[in-house]
């Protein structure tokens, strides 16, 4: 069982890395660095496809294909492939040792199915030319993988919760905090995949107004091409503003619910440390979001904002596991 638990920890750490690396690839416009899948121009590495990449660069200088972008994209694929193998190993060991495991192999099986679907989304991300719905779904899949692995990690490797205090009165707030953060992650992914992060260049207002002119229908139409509305016309600034503004508005909801949950948890023996960490991560995320606007979306800050969202989700999954497993 030690191997099983070690694989879970390794997969959890690697998943966090893959999520952050995926954000880096997306934010550095390297999503089409290799315009085919799973290889790069049918080759194993960008080094083997150097001639094809050079030809693509000569045809479209500064375009989506370059040697640097190809390596970013392929390194992400290599890490994601390694994660797939780890999850396959977790499922195999969970099934083999199902009589001795803490829980059933259903969760590892769900993880394996999710990883397979993630691979398909990764392929469609490239072949469908970065359609926002597919890229956002790929982000959601990565975060879901992180959440499921965190739950499995707590189940198999976490501390014993026997004899801990009754915390049923906190379950509602822990659950609500997790839901509002999950929805904010989806909104943040929609902002990123539609390149709407700088649709508002001021903060806390947007275009100098608290409620600027917006176009919600084209902004939240799911089936469309990147940068286009459902009719094939260029997405307007009002639509991009709607996407950005919704992410900001929901951040207020996150602040209220997660902030209150953190306040309640800090006062609960046995959970005060996690409550403090939750409150700290909430403040860090808010500061990073504001810095993205004020500083013009520097790559490092934007990637840190994505990493902060993943870590906030991880903390909330651990909190909810303990809330629902305690008496």
Q: Which residues are catalytic?
A: 73
Alpha helix stretches (DSSP H) within 128-231: 132-157, 168-193, 216-219
Distances (CA, A) of 122 to 104, 125, 136, 247, 321: 29, 5, 11, 24, 29
Cβ proximity of 301 and 288 under 8 Å: yes
What is the C-alpha to C-alpha distance for residues 141 and 70, in angstroms, rounded to an integer? 23
Looking from the CA of 282 toward its CB, the CA atoms found within 13 Å total 24
Separation CA 302–CA 195 (nearest Å): 12
**36 neighbors 145 (Cβ within 8 angstroms):** no
Dihedral angle computed from the Cα positions of residues 213, 217, 223 and 225, in that order, rounded to the nearest 10 degrees:
-30
Residue indicated by tokens 């990123």: 192
CA dihedral 214, 220, 225, 229 (to 10 degrees): -40
- The residues, any chain, with a CB within 8 Å of residue 89's CB and separated by 6 or more, are 7
CB-neighbour burial class of residue 225 (10 A; exposed 0-12, middle 13-18, buried 19+): middle
Strand partners, 209: 206
* Residue 124 CB partners (closer than 8 Å, separation 6+): 131, 134
């Amino acid at each position: 069982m030690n191997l099983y638990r070690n694989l879970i920890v390794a997969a959890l750490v690697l998943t966090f890395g893959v999520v952050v690396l995926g954000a880096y690839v997306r934010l550095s416009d390297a999503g089409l660095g290799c315009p085919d899948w799973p290889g790069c121009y049918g080759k194993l590495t960008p080094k083997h496809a150097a001639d094809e990449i050079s030809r693509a660069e000569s045809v479209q200088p500064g375009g989506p294909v370059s040697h640097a972008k190809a390596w970013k994209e392929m390194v992400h694929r290599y890490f994601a492939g390694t994660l797939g193998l780890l999850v396959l190993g977790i499922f195999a060991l969970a099934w083999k040792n199902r009589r001795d495991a803490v829980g059933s192999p259903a969760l590892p099986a769900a993880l394996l199915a999710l990883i397979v679907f993630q691979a398909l989304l990764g392929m469609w991300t490239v072949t469908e030319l970065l359609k926002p719905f597919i890229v956002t779904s790929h982000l959601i899949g990565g975060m879901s993988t992180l959440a499921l692995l965190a739950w499995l990690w707590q189940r198999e490797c976490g501390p014993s919760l026997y004899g801990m205090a009754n915390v049923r009165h906190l379950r509602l707030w822990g659950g609500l905090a997790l839901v509002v953060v999950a929805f904010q992650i989806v909104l943040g992914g929609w902002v990123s995949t539609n390149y709407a992060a700088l649709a508002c260049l001021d903060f806390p207002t947007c275009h100098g107004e608290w409620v600027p002119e917006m176009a919600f229908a084209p902004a939240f139409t799911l089936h469309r091409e990147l940068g286009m509305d459902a009719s094939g016309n260029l997405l307007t600034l009002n639509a991009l503003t709607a996407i950005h503004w919704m992410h900001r508005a929901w951040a207020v909801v996150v602040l209220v619910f997660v902030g209150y949950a953190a306040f309640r948890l800090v006062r609960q023996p046995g959970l005060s440390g996690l409550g403090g960490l939750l409150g700290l991560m909430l403040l860090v995320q808010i500061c990073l979001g504001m810095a993205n606007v004020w500083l013009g979306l520097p790559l490092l800050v934007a990637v840190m904002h994505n990493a902060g969202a993943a870590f906030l989700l991880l903390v909330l999954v651990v909190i909810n596991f303990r809330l629902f497993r305690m008496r």
